[in-house]
Amino acid sequence: MGRDRVKEIIRKHAWRSYSGLYEVLELACYKEAGVSCIDLLIDNSEALLAVLDKVYGGRKGLMVRYILKNIFIKPIVSQVLAGELEDALTTLLLNSPREFNDKVKIILKELGRVRNSYS
């Protein structure tokens, strides 16, 4: 999937689900960096975090986490990566069931580690 398609998916999700908030974010990104928040996400995520820090006062804050997760990461995972991951795991299961089991164990272990880091 190409860059423009990924940007389109994120943009549509943001406008559909968080139009007012996304509009404020876009204004801040253009003011601070001269490009859209999605371009910052893809090309310079540190600059995106700096904009969010400035607007919402802290990278570790709940609002910054909410914005990153719900506006930017969720459409990437649900619409961009999901299909590719489904295809890859299905192919792996059909071609190498043991390797599939190993991968699933790694995924589950990582999910547990990530969840524990938020506790």
For the chain, the domains span 3-118
Stretch 104-113: mean pLDDT? 80
Stretch 18-37: mean pLDDT? 96
Q: What is the pLDDT of residue 80?
A: 67
Cβ neighbors of 7 (< 8 A, separation 6 or more) are 38, 39, 42
Q: What is the pLDDT of residue 18?
A: 95
Q: What is the pLDDT of residue 117?
A: 61
pLDDT in tens, 81-97: 777 787 888 888 889 99
- Separation between Cα atoms, residue 93 and residue 26, nearest integer Å: 42
Total count of residues recorded for the chain:
119
- Separation between Cα atoms, residue 64 and residue 27, nearest integer Å: 16
Structure token digits, residue 77? 């995972």
For 107, what's the count of Cα atoms within 13 Å in the CB-facing half-sphere? 8
Asked whether the predicted pLDDT for residue 116 surpasses 80, the reply is no
